[in-house]
Structure 1
Amino acid sequence: MNQPSNNIQYSEHADFSQYWLMLKRRGIPAGLTFLAVLSIALLQAFQEKPIYEAIGQLKFEESQRSSKLIGLDSAVDEESKQQSSLRWQRSLDTEILSMKSPVQLNMLSSIIESQGLFSRPSIEKMKSGLEISQLADTNVVQIRFKSYNPNFSKEIVNQLMQQYVENKPKSKQASTHSAISFIEKQLPQVKQRVNTAETALRKFKETYQITDLEIAKSANATNLSQLQTLLDEIDRELVEVQTQQLKLQNMLSLNPKQALIGISTSHTSISTSLEEIDKQIAEAKSNYQQDHPFVLELLERQSQLNLLLSQKIDQSTQSNAQLNFVPNQKDDLRSQLIQLDIKRNGLSQQQLKLRQQLSRYRQQAKNLPQLEQRQKELERTAKASTSTYQNLLVQIQELKVTENQSPLTVSVLESADAPSPSKTTYISASMRGGLAGILLAAGVVYVLERIDRKLKSKDEIRQVYPYRVLGEIPLFSESESELSKLPTLLNPSSHFSEAYRMLQASLKFLGLEQSPRILMITSAIAQEGKSTTCANLAVSLAEMNHRVLLIDADIRLASQHHIWELRNQEGLTHILLNKHIEEHQALPTHQVMDNLEVITAGRISSNPLPMLESEQFASFVQMQINKYDYILIDAPPLVSVADPLVIGKVVDGILLVARPGHLEREYAQKAHELLTHSSLAILGTIINGIIETNEPYSYYSHYGRYTSQDETISKNGLIKEVIVR
């Protein structure tokens, strides 16, 4: 249950350790940066002149509202009252800007010069030292001025307040009089606009006979509905009449005109029909207007009957033998046909008039929105003009009373006294400089870390080289590096010797089926200590009674003969060129100690790759494994040449040396890429030259460190003694 908490604590501790290591690595530039910033801050505080700040206060009071004095509060609406309150809240900001204006400062500069106490100050100088602000939740304005002269600061503040208090009433009355004159000039024009707008609205209503557009829209909709309903009824009735008329025409084989000529209906029946029509007309006129379609239909039928009656008086009756009807029945049918024709004509005329009325109402409905829009525009124009006119009347009444009344009251609440000097203390300067120094030093550390591409610690090397770490060799100090590059031989009890012993012990616990005996030691780039590591590993193996052969295969830049102080006339190149492979006695080996022999590189060659890639080299190495327990081959760097990749084909495994603080990340990635693509056997990594200041912890100096100078053996003497034996 506590595992997540432990992980979080470990992560925080690791992050802190990384930051601490970065600071240790860049301690000198970071410290110099911090000290420089702190020194500059203290020097500025020491050289800083004292500044004198004079402070004065002005009190602003609102005068009584003029509208209240003349009893006009009731005429001013609530919105105007709110606007007046808002104007007063912003008035102090306006006053502050007025006191800072160039005109005001120029007048103040002239007054200072006229007093003869100081030379005329520039407006820029006064602006830079002047600060005016309103105290929170009060009508008090505070004036501050800073300068190196206490009397000058005091004089500026007091003169500015006095000048403002004296000139404020005059400027206020002048501005009020100017506003009254402007409004009086505007009133006739605004009144004319009001009259024009009201006249245009009245003419519009008279032209279109509009009293209320909403009522007109409602009435128009009702008329449209009623007319449509009546038209539908007339259409239906007309269809029925036409159907009956067609049926009678087919029975009589007569059209309405022929039936009218041959009808024998008595005058009495026609008179009776006329009486009925008259009654219907009288009743319809009492319910409808004169131009109503129903009234017009009845009048049409009355006209037709009158015409029929007059024709019957003048015409004679004709024979009815043609039809097979009873005379009275035939006359009735003809009379019905004539009545239907009269009714049809009346309905047709009524239908036409209804359609005309319906079209007019629809056109009126279409025009109503445009009329409504136009009416609203005229009403808005009239309302805006009226509102402007009313506001001007109210304002001019306010201003006329204010002109003879005291304006906004300004008084000096507190005059400026002789100011005390203010100077930055060394404590505050140290705090500011220290904070700035810390931030700048952190920036320097960050920039240096970003610029430096070198792998600085074991953890960073492990991130690039995902191999097993077989050994960790600490960095030689200057005194130790001057003494020897072979601490395992000259100082067996040192922690360096113990580190190499741990390396040779790690080789025995690799967990492989067959222990590797032919080993190649290489690195990504030069100067990583691969040759020194190879020599000391050979000494550690020899001390464990293993027969070891050390071959210097770095023919381009040999170094083993320098480490062991050997002659390099003959070596590996001599063996490969002369094919001295089978005769062991003829090999140019150097026995430097018990169980350890060294073959130097021999003659330096600019292109040793053909020799290393030849069969002679592979056969030579394989033959020597029968005589030695271990064969260590010192190979060139991986990134520089292709020699290590060729040598790697004849060895059992490769030991990759990496040096923190020297190996750059790009070269390490390139070396790892080459080894991955070559499919060579990588036994592990040897981290050489570990810088203790770059590591979060180190244990080399806590156990087994023995550096007695009395028991330090001379390098030359020891090597000579070993060779003699």
Structure 2
Amino acid sequence: MRHLNHDQPEPGNNRLPALPNSYFVQPGELTIEPASSSPGIDYWHLLRKYLILLSLFAVAGAAAGFFSVAFLNPVYQSRALLEVQAPTVTLFKNSGVSGNDEVSQVNIQTQIQLLRSSSFLRRVMERLQLETVPPPPVQNDIFSRLRRRLTTNTQDPMALMTSGLNVALATFDARPINGTRIIEITCDSTSPDIAANFVNTLANEYIEQNSQGRAQNLQQTSQWLSGQLEETRNKLQEAQQHLQEFVQSSGNLFVLQDNTLDNSKLRQLQGELSAIQADRIAKQAKYELVAKTSPEALPGVLEDINVRGYQTRIADLRREAAVLKTTLTPDNPKVKKIEVQINELQITLNKEVTAEIQRIKNDYDVALRREKLLSADYTKQASQVSAEATKASQYSGLKREVETLQQTYSAMLLQANESNINSSVPLGMGTIRLVDPSTPPAKPYKPRPALNIAFGTMAGLFLSVGIAFLWERMDKSVRTPGHSRTLLNVPELGVIPSIEPRGSRPAWRLLLGRESRNAGEMVGSEVSLDTRVGFWDSAPASQLLADSFRVTLASLMLGNGTRRPPRVILVTSPGAGEGKTTIVSNLGTALAETGRSVLILDGDFRRPRLHKVFDLADTWGLTNILEEGSAAPERFGLLTTVPGLFVMPNGPKSGSISKMLYGSEIRRFFQMVREKYDIVLIDAPPILEVADGRLLAEFADGVLLVLRSGVTDRVAALQAYQQLSEDQTPLLGTVLNDFKATRRSRQGYYNYAGR
């Protein structure tokens, strides 16, 4: 890493020695981490920032809502309630077909569809056109008067009436009220009288139509019931005659019972046959197992007690023979005796096995024969029961037909009686009743002035918030404290707040209290100095700025508490107009307060401004020293009104800047100012615009990068950082300048400092 190592101070010299490399943050040793997370959002600051925009859009939205009310024609809404009553005539009531909730809801939906039918609405419109008279003009409020002034087209009363009826027809609607038998009918119109008249006329027309339809239905029902009664009576007589003839043809011997003797016998045979089949299957399985087993393995399969006994005795004798053969020869009498016993028992065992197999076969044959006999008996009995079931089915069908016709005939007699009663009910007592007739509304339901104005205001507010959001999203600058630390991963040494203008004073002031001659030359936060004393004045705003520079100085000088501060500091920024001259001037003042001798060097060869800030002559300065090379150290700095603070102007402009920066005289100059002053601050040009700052950084212990809140672009800050990293220039940290602090934070400082 490129870094100058200077000699240690001589004994007795109170100037600070050079710093070790470990003090600095080296750009090449850090990793740039993109600002993945945005800094905290100050909503109060954003509200103050966009307050005028919000107010203008809110007023514009409210005005748009107001004029929308004036331009839109008022619309009145009328409503009426119809009750769908239970019908007095209910066919086949006892069958359970009607009277439940589902049918009731279907009935209501049917009534609604009839109300919406085109033929019915056409009749209503024809009736209204004959009965309705042109409505009188209504409304005399401010919106009506304004509407009449803004609209020049006038219509005759008949055209207004026709228009009102057409609007009512187009907006008519009928819908059920959940959980009730009520139908709500509504319509809109430009006239309150037409709206109410349309709804009432439609309801009355539908009630009359329903009553007429009910009378016709009753008449048709009576005629139909009379014919059906006669036909059902004839069918009933024929069915009874057929049933009587069938009983007589059966000899009156058929008795319809649930359990006949033949049925009981058939079920008994079925049970016995099932048991015999199960027994036969078990014996067949045992017989087939014995037949398929080899003779040697038969004793192990059979379950006879004698066979098992013989097997056990033979096994015991064979064990004894095996024991004797271990000590005796096969010709020994004892061995021969045991073998004779084994042979005799084996012969007896074979006889028992043969007898057991024959017994199993006999059992299987007997079971098979019984199964065949029971199957034949069951088949015979089933044929007999089937013949009787056919007769029983015929008898049941004839009897069921007679019973059904009797029930139908009784139900029709009951319905005929109810029909006769209903036909005597007056036509006015129908199934539809007008519960709540409509009255002309006093006020239009739309447009609503309060709602339209409120909606317009809210729309304006939302639009302004969207514009502010997009504007903030498009803003790629460094804005808040901590943002540079996240963006560049370097220390943020201080935050310099901006101060609101007081009284008639401009927003931006020079360090000494005079207005800037060019807004682009001196930006950021400035604080006025008392030229007689050399310190900041006692105004709260000035004290806030002064303390912010003191905090920056403490961060710069103390580091982590164990390292020595730098002596030559180059102050620069990514671009112009970001307040580096302001920072270096005030930082030099803060350093002078500590009792150090401080030199502020104007290293901007193209746009020097330090001499204007401190009201010094620029007739002789750094350019003269670098070109002539014969200046005495006593001339390295002009004394300012601030004790201990010296300024080296840049001097007259020269056309050989590169020659001066690459020459040997500049190195000797910095060695001499290191010996004379405790701290040297270099006001360098923007690092991204010219190469002067990069060349001057070679003679500094570190670089202080100034970022202006809301002005410095993030990309520019990253480029400046990358440039320093490539040059291997130590970066001490950043200073956020011109930060718009919230009123609460400033007030907190004022309350604390104003003790």
Which of the residues 672, 694, 706 maps onto 1:657? 706
CA distance in 1, matches of 2:553, 2:570: 13
CA contact (8 A) 2:167 2:190 kept: no
Distance apart, 1:529 and its partner CA: 0.5
CA contact (8 A) 2:709 2:737 kept: yes
CA gap 1:104/1:571 in 2 versus in 1, 3 angstroms: farther
Q: How does 1:341-380 map to 2 (within 5 A)?
A: none
Q: Which amino acid letter does the alignment assign opposite residue 599 of structure 2?
A: L
Q: Which amino acid letter does the alignment assign opposite residue 41 of structure 1?
A: G
Q: Which amino acid letter does the alignment assign opposite residue 638 of structure 2?
A: Q
Distance apart, 1:160 and its partner CA: 0.6
Which of the residues 443, 457, 465 maps onto 1:421? 443
CA gap 1:241/1:20 in 2 versus in 1, 3 angstroms: closer
Q: Secondary structure at the match of 2:571?
A: strand
CA distance in 1, matches of 2:656, 2:595: 37
CA distance in 2, matches of 1:669, 1:235: 98
Distance apart, 1:624 and its partner CA: 2.3
Distance apart, 1:19 and its partner CA: 1.8
TM-score by length of 1: 0.57
Which of the residues 670, 686, 689 maps onto 1:637? 686
Distance apart, 1:410 and its partner CA: 1.4
Q: Which amino acid letter does the alignment assign opposite residue 739 of structure 2?
A: I
CA distance in 2, matches of 1:56, 1:600: 92
| Aligned residue number for residue 88 of structure 1 | 104
Deviations 1:95-151 (A, max 9, x none): 123212333323322332344746656997335533434456543333333222122
CA contact (8 A) 1:588 1:599 kept: no
| Aligned residue number for residue 526 of structure 1 | 576
CA distance in 1, matches of 2:704, 2:277: 106
TM-score by length of 2: 0.55
CA distance in 1, matches of 2:719, 2:294: 109
Distance apart, 1:442 and its partner CA: 4.2
CA contact (8 A) 2:477 2:709 kept: yes
Deviations 1:567-596 (A, max 9, x none): 8798656765x5x55x32499967363652
CA gap 1:421/1:584 in 2 versus in 1, 3 angstroms: same
Distance apart, 1:528 and its partner CA: 1.1
Q: Secondary structure at the match of 2:676?
A: coil
Q: Is residue 2:507 matched to residue 1:483?
A: no
Q: Is residue 2:84 matched to residue 1:60?
A: yes
| Aligned residue number for residue 26 of structure 1 | 50
Query: Quick check: 470-479 or 97-106, which moved more?
Result: 470-479
Distance apart, 1:87 and its partner CA: 0.7
Distance apart, 1:534 and its partner CA: 1.8
Q: How does 1:36-47 map to 2 (within 5 A)?
A: 36-45=60-69
CA gap 1:670/1:108 in 2 versus in 1, 3 angstroms: farther
CA gap 1:234/1:515 in 2 versus in 1, 3 angstroms: closer
CA contact (8 A) 1:458 1:695 kept: no
Distance apart, 1:21 and its partner CA: 1.5
Q: Which amino acid letter does the alignment assign opposite residue 515 of structure 2?
A: L
Q: Is residue 2:549 matched to residue 1:503?
A: yes
CA distance in 1, matches of 2:752, 2:280: 119
Identify unmatched segments of 5+ residues in structure 1: 1-14, 185-209, 244-335, 361-385, 706-725
| Aligned residue number for residue 449 of structure 1 | 472
CA distance in 1, matches of 2:705, 2:184: 76
Q: Which amino acid letter does the alignment assign opposite residue 627 of structure 1?
A: K
| Aligned residue number for residue 225 of structure 1 | 278
CA contact (8 A) 2:569 2:700 kept: yes
Distance apart, 1:600 and its partner CA: 1.5
Q: Which amino acid letter does the alignment assign opposite residue 591 of structure 1?
A: L
CA distance in 1, matches of 2:60, 2:647: 57
Deviations 1:360-417 (A, max 9, x none): 9xxxxxxxxxxxxxxxxxxxxxxxxx9xx99xx89x9699999885796113334333
Distance apart, 1:598 and its partner CA: 1.8
CA contact (8 A) 2:85 2:181 kept: yes
Distance apart, 1:518 and its partner CA: 0.7
Q: Secondary structure at the match of 1:632?
A: strand
Deviations 1:486-515 (A, max 9, x none): 855566544576535763686365245434
| Aligned residue number for residue 597 of structure 1 | 647
Distance apart, 1:164 and its partner CA: 0.8
| Aligned residue number for residue 584 of structure 1 | 631
CA gap 1:28/1:67 in 2 versus in 1, 3 angstroms: same
CA gap 1:505/1:414 in 2 versus in 1, 3 angstroms: closer
| Aligned residue number for residue 144 of structure 1 | 186
Q: How does 1:660-699 map to 2 (within 5 A)?
A: 660-668=709-717, 671=720, 680-693=729-742, 696-698=745-747
CA distance in 2, matches of 1:540, 1:219: 122
Q: How does 1:294-333 map to 2 (within 5 A)?
A: none
| Aligned residue number for residue 624 of structure 1 | 673
CA gap 1:234/1:483 in 2 versus in 1, 3 angstroms: closer
Distance apart, 1:23 and its partner CA: 0.4
CA gap 1:129/1:559 in 2 versus in 1, 3 angstroms: same
CA contact (8 A) 1:99 1:164 kept: yes
CA contact (8 A) 1:501 1:540 kept: no
CA contact (8 A) 2:61 2:453 kept: no
CA gap 1:512/1:534 in 2 versus in 1, 3 angstroms: farther
CA distance in 2, matches of 1:562, 1:54: 80
CA contact (8 A) 2:529 2:536 kept: no
Distance apart, 1:531 and its partner CA: 1.8
CA distance in 2, matches of 1:558, 1:618: 21
Distance apart, 1:152 and its partner CA: 1.3
| Aligned residue number for residue 246 of structure 1 | none
CA contact (8 A) 2:174 2:186 kept: yes
Deviations 1:592-637 (A, max 9, x none): 63652324276578995x9757766444322321133322112233
CA gap 1:86/1:505 in 2 versus in 1, 3 angstroms: closer
CA distance in 1, matches of 2:623, 2:217: 109
What CA RMSD, in Å, does the superposition of the two structures yield over aligned residues? 5.9
Q: Which amino acid letter does the alignment assign opposite residue 94 of structure 1?
A: T
Aligned residues: 536
Query: Quick check: 57-66 or 559-568, which moved more?
Result: 559-568
| Aligned residue number for residue 168 of structure 1 | 210
Q: Which amino acid letter does the alignment assign opposite residue 187 of structure 2?
A: F
CA distance in 1, matches of 2:281, 2:664: 117
Deviations 1:401-453 (A, max 9, x none): 99885796113334333332336675565555555555555444434333333
| Aligned residue number for residue 307 of structure 1 | none
CA gap 1:65/1:110 in 2 versus in 1, 3 angstroms: closer
CA distance in 2, matches of 1:520, 1:217: 117
CA contact (8 A) 2:687 2:694 kept: yes
CA gap 1:92/1:517 in 2 versus in 1, 3 angstroms: same
Q: Secondary structure at the match of 1:38?
A: helix
Identify unmatched segments of 5+ residues in structure 2: 1-38, 134-157, 229-262, 297-350, 376-400, 424-428, 517-521
Q: Secondary structure at the match of 1:66?
A: coil
CA distance in 2, matches of 1:616, 1:216: 136
Higher helix share: 1
CA distance in 1, matches of 2:694, 2:276: 107
Deviations 1:264-288 (A, max 9, x none): xxxxxxxxxxxxxxxxxxxxxxxxx
| Aligned residue number for residue 325 of structure 2 | none
Q: Which protein, 1 or 2, shows the higher relative CO under an 8 Å CA cutoff with sep ≥ 6?
A: 2
CA contact (8 A) 1:96 1:133 kept: yes
Which of the residues 427, 432, 441 maps onto 1:410? 432
Q: Percent identical across equivalent pairs?
A: 20
CA distance in 2, matches of 1:37, 1:218: 94
